[in-house]
Structure formats: C-alpha cells, structure tokens
Structure 1
Amino acid sequence: MTEMKRNKTLILLVILVSYFMILLDNSIIFTGTVKIAEELHLTPIMLSWVNNAYALTFGGLLLVGGRLGDSLNRKVAFSMGLIIFGLGSLLVAISTTDIMMILSRAFQGVGSAILAPTTLSLLMENFEGNERTRAISAYGATAGIGASLGLVIGGLFASLLSWRDGFLINVPIAMVMLILTAIYVPSSQVHQKQSLDILGSIYSFVMMLSLIYGIVGENARWISILLFVIMLVLFIKRERNFKNPLVPLNLFTNKERLGAYIARFFYMGGMLSLWFLTPQMMQTNLGFTPLQAGIGFFPLTIVNFLVALTVSKLTHKFGNEKLLVVGIFITMVGVSGLILFSPSLGYLLGIALPMILMGVGQGLTLSPLTVSGVAEVNQQESGAASGLVNVFHQIGGSFGVSFISIISQNITDSLKSYHIAMIVTTTLIAIALVAVIILIYSKNLKIIKGR
C-alpha cells in the first residue's frame, strides 16, 4: 500500500468513526432510557428532555455547523466538533442530576451539529471520482449500520455494564480521532475567506429550534410552529439578498438534490420510528431483555452491511437513481411485513424475515440518497449541502417518532399501537419513494430520452 493510499484510508477511517459516534449515541439513549431514569430519578417529562435537549441543539445548529467548514478551515471546524462532542460525552457520563444531564446532552448536540456536516464535506474534499463514490457508499452504510448496531451496543451497556460507559467510551475515541486528524487530514485547499453570516445564523438557529420543539415539545407547540414560519420567511429573505448566505438557495433549484432532501426526510422519519419502537415491542410482546432486543436487529444490520459493500459497483452498473427506487421499494415491503406481526409468529417469521428485506433496502438506499443530496455541488458550497443532508436526516427522524407517537398515544393495546405505527411508517417510506420517482428518477429518464 502506497503512502498516499494509506493516508486516504486513514482519512476515511477518521471520518467514518467520528460519524459513527454521533449515530451510536442516539441508539444508546433508546435502550438506556429505563436505567437512566432509575438512576437519576427522572420524571417522564425530564426523561424526554434528555433526548429533546440533544435534538434541539443538534438540529438547531446543523445549518451553521455545515457552513462553518466552508467559511473557515474544514479541518479546524472538524477538530472543534470532536473536542465539543468528546467533552459533552464526558459531562453526560458523570451527570448526577437531571439538570446536569439535560444541559450536558444539549452541549453534546452542539458538537454533533459541527461534526455531522463536516464529516461529509471533508469526505467530498479529499476524495474524487470512483474513490468518492466508494467513500460515500461507506458513509451511507455507516448511517444505517450505526443506528441499528447502536441498539446492540446500547443494550449491552444497559444489561451488562452501565449506560454511563456508553457515553464515556466516546472520550478516548474522540481523542484518538483528534490526533489522527492533526496528523493525516490535510487543511482545506478551498474555503471561503469571509466571516460567517451572523444574522442568518441567528435566524437559522431560532428557525430550526422552533421547528424541532414544535415536533418534540410538550407545550405551546403551535406557537413554536408559528415562530418557525416567521423565522423561515425572514431567513429566506436574508439568504436571497445576502452576498455570502448561510444556505445558498440555489441548492434547492436542482431537482435531484431537492428530491434527495425530501426523500431523506420521510425515509428517516419511517426508519427512526422503527428503530425506536421495535426494541420496545420486542421487550413488551416477546419478553426480550434490552440486550436481546438489540441483538434482534442483527438481521437488518448484517444484511445492510453486506449489501452496502456492493453499492459502489451496483451504482456503476445500474446508476444511482435505479438503486434508490429499488432500495426504497424493498424497504417499504420489509416494513409493511411488520404490520402483520403477532407473538404467535415469533421472532424469526414475524421480525427477522422482514428485517432481512429492510437490510437490503436500507443498504441500497442511504448511500445513493447521500450522493444525490450533494450532486453537482461545488467545493465552496459542499459544507452547506452536507449540512442540509444532515438537517433533513435529523429533522425527518424527529418528525417521524413524534408524529407516530401522537397518532398512537391513546391506544392502550401495545400490539395494536405497534401495528398502526408500522402502517404510518410504511406510508412515510412510500412518500419517500414517490419523491424519488418524481424528482430524481423521472428527471434522469428525460435526460436519457433527450440524448
């Protein structure tokens, strides 16, 4: 292996491991909530804010975090994200009160908001051509595997160790990634030398904060949504007239990118709901422990990983658009299988079999969605585009979980509630499929016919 190839491998490793840490934390919370509530004596409302505080700062600052690497040096921005996330993880792990826990999670979310988009923009900057396709395939695979594998790791910590260890492990990992970044990741060759749009950043933060609270909050949600609409209007007006906008509005004029953003929103709305609700269902209806529920996701995780390894070759052979359509369709079929689940079917037929289909679908979907989300973006705007990919990923997931919770909250029968949730999940993924067909697949069909 040549030194250049070895350096590229290490750069990709740093990017993927850092991204994996963010995804892992979300899943650990899912399987560790019971233990966290018991140890810190949290009320249900305070427990919900352990997740909401992280979601608010993560989602609220994603657009700013994405543009930070474009305005400054991406290596510096990435290192800042690692330091904040690592320190936030340490504070979460040593939390002794509900307030300390919630504030620590909010601080951790700031680090995630910088890390998530800069991982993707660093990848785009350091890889080109087929190398970039393979790297983005690995990045997309990490997005799927990280969330589902996190359920296994979270269950392991909750059952055998402590939920604190699930956060504490981030500290040495972040330190190692920081050292490797300093040694192997080159400084950005292209970045805009101008100050960050401060007013646009404020509008963006308030806008995203009010949107997420409108989705996950307990009180005054409609007021929050109204504030979001007002901030959105002000934000668009600012971005349209400002010389160096936080989010260049031309990113939405490309049909492929727009289709990818919409599809990612609804796809993740469905999949995060599935990751959130299915472990609970396995524990309630099949008597699984948290660890067993996490291991129960192995069919999805392993198949996802194996399929994701083939995505770059399949993309070269069939094209990104066809993979998207096939991948989302197979995911939809797999999720719809869970609508029929009953304890009499057992785990293998009722859960594992649909999960195999979901693993195939997810493996074929997330990487092509990422490719389409940053299609035809220049280097100066890659951070902003990466930020948008992560915004729709994060907001879509929060929306899906909240929307399904509202629909099923008055249903006392847990199995019936799960069936309804899976019907909604299937519908969300179907909407993602329609968006891809109309905005991405049909667009490229017209291009082919035009030739």
Structure 2
Amino acid sequence: MDLTAGAPVRYSTPAGRWVLLATVLGSSLAFIDSTVVNIALPEIGRDLGSDAAGLQWTVNGYALSLASLVLLGGSLGDRYGRKRIFLLGVSWFALASLLCGLAPDVEVLIAARVLQGIGGALLTPGALAILEASFAAEDRSRAIGAWSGLGGIGGAIGPFLGGWLVEIGDWRYIFLINVPLALIVLLIAAKHVPESRNAAAARQIDYAGVLTGAAGLAGLTYGFTAWPEHGPGDPMVLLSLALGAGGMVAFVLVERRSPHPMLPLRIFGNKAFSGANLVTFLVYAANGGVFFLFVVNLQVVAGFTPLASGISLLPLTALMLVLSARAGALSQRTGPRILMTVGPLICAVALVMMSRIGAGAGYWVDVLPAVVIFGLGLSTLVAPLTATALGALEDSYAGIASGVNNAVARAAGLLSVAVLPLAAGLGGGNLTDAGQLHPVYRNTMLICAGLMVAGALLAYLLVPRRLPAHTPARSFCDPCAPPVQSPEGVRSAR
C-alpha cells in the first residue's frame, strides 16, 4: 500500500490546483530547457568559439543524462518518497543551471548540462507519479491530461523565451532564470504536495541496468557526434559505436535476468504499448531534429534575430494550448488510432514546407504557414499518444508506463541530434556558417518528414481502435505496484 499524507485531493479544489501547479512548473523546467538552449546555440558558438560538435554536445549532454537516468529517477521516488526525490531534482537542476550560466568555456558548459540532465531525470518522472498518487481516481486522468498539455506548451514556449532572453542580455540568462523559477517550485511543493511512496517497490536499485543503459546511449551518441569530424574509420568512433551497441544489448540481457529490473521487459508484450512507444521514438526523433535546427536556420541563414526566431514558434504554442485538450477528448470518443495516424502526416506536410525556408525568407509567407500546420499536427498527435502510452497497460503499471515513454522520447531526441546532421551531410561543417548549414537543414527537415510518415504508418498498424477497459488497482495511489490480479494484466491489451 502506498503511504500518503492525507486523503486524495480533487481536481477542482484549491489543494488539487496547488499540486497541479507545482508539478507543471517543475516539469516545465526540464521541458523548456530541452528547447530553450537551441535558440541560443549560434550565440554560444560565437561567444565560446565552439565548433559543431561542441554545440551538439551542449544539447546532447543534457539529453544523455536525462534519458539514461529517467527510469532510475522514477524508481527512487517509489522507494524513498516521490515528493522528496522531486524536491531533490528541482534543487539539483537549479544548482546545475547556475553553473551553466557561469560557464567560462564550452567544456564546462557541457559538463554542467550533464548535471542539469541528472536533475531533470529526478524531477520529471516524479511529477507524474505525484499526480497519480495525489489525485482521486476519478480525477486522475483529467489531472494527467492537464499536466501533459501544459508541459508540452512549456517545451514549445522555450524558443520564444530563449530568443527574448538572448535579445535583452546574453545567452547565460537562459540558464540563470531557472534559479528563481526553481525556488518558486520548491516553496509550492514543500507546502502543498503530499508525500507518497510505493511500499511494494523493490528495495534494491538496478545498478547494472543503469550502467549498461547509460553506457549504450553514451557510446552511440558520442560515436555519431564525432563521426562527421573524424570519419567513420577513426578508432574512437568505431570503439564508441561498438561500446554503445554492446551496452544496449547488455541492458536488455540484464533487464531480462534481473529480479528487480529497472525496465520490466514483459510490458512490451502489450501490442498497443509497444506501438505507442515506437511511434513516440519516431515522432520525437523528428521533433528533436526540428527544434535543434529550425531556429538556428532562421538566424544563421534567413537573418532573423534571436527574438524574432523565437517568436516565430508562438503560433505552435497557442495551437497546443487551445487544441491539445480537445484532441484528447476526441481521442476518447473515436479511439487513438485515427488521430495518431493523421497527426504525424500533418506534421510531415509542415516539415516539407519548412525545408524550403532559406536566405531571404519572410515570416508571413514562408515561416508562419509551416509553423501553423506543424502546430496543428502536434496538437492532433500529442495528447492521444500520451494517453495511449499510459493507458495501454493496467492501472498498476501507470508509473512504469510513464517512465518508459519519457525515456523513449528523450532517447529519440538525443540520438536524432547526434545522427541527423550526419545523415543530412554535415561532414566537418559549421552550424554557424550559412552556406554549410542550409543544405544540412533542408535535408534534415526532409528526413524528419519521412520519420513522421513512418510514425503514422506504425500507428495505423499497431495502435488499436480502442484501448481496453482495465480493472482499477485496489489503491488509488499505487501506480507502480505489481498487477492487482496477475501478470495477465500486462497481456490484456494485445
């Protein structure tokens, strides 16, 4: 049985609003930081004299530690208290952000970004687990829907915030602003969020799973990032890719044999859950490429200011704010398959349009139509995708389902930033040189469009028209406990 501080809260009460506000603001720190840095990459490159690999690692250092440790963060919350680990993550994130803002060179900045990712891995899964544990069963889906929509909006608003901060000062402000925001989250959460933990969670930590998973992601990421500069025959590139592939194989073997796995592989026997996560991987790989290069291309090639390039994505934010909840409600009536198929196809059309944005592009004619269509596609897709990933398994697996989907999305974005510039023909080029950047940008957008089409096809083939009804867990606040009846719950949605 979970241990909680008091009775479950209701969505419509002040207590429920405070819990939702704390988790949304905390999650937004990590979500926004995934995109806000991209707008400042040209300025960081010029100020610190960084090459393309350094800029890629400024993004990937954060994503690597976040993707590698997000499952561990969820496990620690279940064991030692979700509120406690959430507060630890927010505090860690704030201190790492301060170090980023004070970094004297790109090497220190990359190291600080890795530390930031650790904080994000502690706070991100804890936010959703707190919602699961705190809200009454009848209000839980509504609270998770609000968290998902608002968190997505936080990620989308990052480029605007980054552009404004770079414009009024310098790139360091995008990190330093996290410190007062984190203090607000700490004050709200400490006072209003109840503590909870899963007393049924294993006491042991899956250290072997953590190490092999991190080694696999790190090896693949370093190898693909170093490939353009050093070539595929370089010993370090070959060694890193071999280490990455071996680490991922070892991770699967460890998780199959572990009595207390960080990632119980049996949940992938559920076709809807596996399908939703495959779609997540393709879609978020495409999104990673778009948000990494789109605003950079606007500044370096099209000549937009940092603020103008950030503002260019505001329509996307507005569309997600207005339409995400409606898409979620429509998905409940029609089933997730239709929207998860149509959404990526709309995004693919937008990305083909984005690939044509080059020198002399105008906002109203060239940029806005593509951004609006992309926003419509994401608004159609994100809520049904999240709901399917969380709802495909029995209620007792909600916490695990959330952690897996989060890790898949982060790993997809991580690998896309490493691989897509290579696949698009970057070579040893410079992302701050217009002549070298534009063909890479154009090819990347077309590759991302292909990933969206592939995601739509997988959604149509693997996601059911309707998710099955599940037997509720006996405790409203035990999302990560073993199944209530038997392991058959994992297989019921095939």
* TM, length-normalised to structure 1: 0.89
Partner in structure 1 of residue 207 of structure 2: 198
Contact 2:297 2:441 in 1 (8 A): yes
Note the 1:329-368 alignment, pairs <5 A: 329-341=345-357, 346-368=362-384
Q: Distance in 2 between matches of 1:159 and 1:211?
A: 35
Q: Distance in 1 between matches of 2:214 and 2:396?
A: 22
Deviation at 1:21, TM superposition (A): 1.0
**Residues 38-62 of structure 1 deviation map (CA, whole Å, 9 limit, x = unaligned):** 4444455444433332222222222
Deviates most, 430-439 or 194-203: 194-203
Say yes or no: does 1:265 pair with 2:288: no
The 1:133–1:295 alpha-carbon spacing in structure 2 relative to 1, beyond 3 Å, is same
Say yes or no: does 1:310 pair with 2:319: no
Partner in structure 1 of residue 80 of structure 2: 72
Contact 2:10 2:16 in 1 (8 A): no
Q: 2:425 aligns with which of 401, 408, 417?
A: 408
Q: 2:453 aligns with which of 427, 430, 441?
A: 430
Say yes or no: does 1:388 pair with 2:404: yes
The 1:382–1:2 alpha-carbon spacing in structure 2 relative to 1, beyond 3 Å, is closer
**Residues 164-221 of structure 1 deviation map (CA, whole Å, 9 limit, x = unaligned):** 2211111122122122222221122534151212223222322332233344345634
Aligned-pair identity in percent equals: 27
Matched letter for residue 459 of structure 2: V
Deviation at 1:370, TM superposition (A): 1.5
Q: Provide the secondary structure at the position in 2 that maps to 1:196.
A: coil
The 1:296–1:130 alpha-carbon spacing in structure 2 relative to 1, beyond 3 Å, is farther
Structure 2 residue ranges without an equivalent (≥5)? 1-8, 231-235, 430-434, 469-492
Deviates most, 75-84 or 324-333: 324-333
Q: Distance in 1 between matches of 2:190 and 2:286?
A: 38
Q: Distance in 2 between matches of 1:60 and 1:3?
A: 32
Contact 1:66 1:385 in 2 (8 A): no
Q: Provide the secondary structure at the position in 1 that maps to 2:203.
A: coil
Matched letter for residue 265 of structure 1: F
Q: Provide the secondary structure at the position in 2 that maps to 1:163.
A: coil
**Residues 112-136 of structure 1 deviation map (CA, whole Å, 9 limit, x = unaligned):** 1112222222233334656333333
Contact 1:136 1:367 in 2 (8 A): no
Structure 1 residue ranges without an equivalent (≥5)? none
Contact 1:138 1:308 in 2 (8 A): no
Q: Provide the secondary structure at the position in 2 that maps to 1:409.
A: coil
Contact 1:52 1:216 in 2 (8 A): no
Partner in structure 2 of residue 149 of structure 1: 157
Matched letter for residue 426 of structure 2: Q
Say yes or no: does 1:212 pair with 2:228: no
Deviation at 1:242, TM superposition (A): 2.2
The 1:100–1:340 alpha-carbon spacing in structure 2 relative to 1, beyond 3 Å, is closer
Deviates most, 169-178 or 52-61: 52-61
Q: Distance in 1 between matches of 2:54 and 2:361?
A: 37
The 1:335–1:177 alpha-carbon spacing in structure 2 relative to 1, beyond 3 Å, is same
Q: Distance in 2 between matches of 1:364 and 1:215?
A: 32
**Residues 132-165 of structure 1 deviation map (CA, whole Å, 9 limit, x = unaligned):** 3333333332443223311111111111122222
Partner in structure 2 of residue 101 of structure 1: 109
Partner in structure 2 of residue 234 of structure 1: 250
Matched letter for residue 147 of structure 1: G
Deviation at 1:67, TM superposition (A): 2.2
The 1:326–1:98 alpha-carbon spacing in structure 2 relative to 1, beyond 3 Å, is closer
Matched letter for residue 307 of structure 1: L
Partner in structure 1 of residue 92 of structure 2: 84
Say yes or no: does 1:15 pair with 2:38: no
Contact 1:63 1:204 in 2 (8 A): no
Partner in structure 1 of residue 131 of structure 2: 123
**Residues 17-53 of structure 1 deviation map (CA, whole Å, 9 limit, x = unaligned):** 1111112223222122233334444455444433332
Deviates most, 368-377 or 353-362: 368-377
Say yes or no: does 1:326 pair with 2:349: no
Deviates most, 271-280 or 403-412: 403-412
Deviates most, 355-364 or 233-242: 233-242
Contact 2:10 2:135 in 1 (8 A): no
Q: Provide the secondary structure at the position in 2 that maps to 1:349.
A: helix
Say yes or no: does 1:420 pair with 2:468: no
Deviates most, 339-348 or 314-323: 339-348
Contact 1:72 1:193 in 2 (8 A): no
The 1:342–1:383 alpha-carbon spacing in structure 2 relative to 1, beyond 3 Å, is same
The total of aligned residue pairs comes to 446
Q: 1:296 aligns with which of 312, 326, 349?
A: 312
Which of the two has greater helix per residue?
Answer: 1
Contact 1:70 1:383 in 2 (8 A): no
Deviates most, 173-182 or 378-387: 378-387
Deviates most, 381-390 or 358-367: 381-390
Q: Distance in 2 between matches of 1:443 and 1:310?
A: 18
Deviates most, 60-69 or 242-251: 60-69
Q: Distance in 2 between matches of 1:430 and 1:163?
A: 35
Matched letter for residue 463 of structure 2: I
Deviates most, 107-116 or 395-404: 395-404
Deviation at 1:341, TM superposition (A): 4.2
The 1:35–1:349 alpha-carbon spacing in structure 2 relative to 1, beyond 3 Å, is closer
The 1:337–1:127 alpha-carbon spacing in structure 2 relative to 1, beyond 3 Å, is farther
Q: Distance in 2 between matches of 1:3 and 1:381?
A: 22
Q: Distance in 2 between matches of 1:345 and 1:157?
A: 24
State the Cα RMSD in Å.
Answer: 2.8
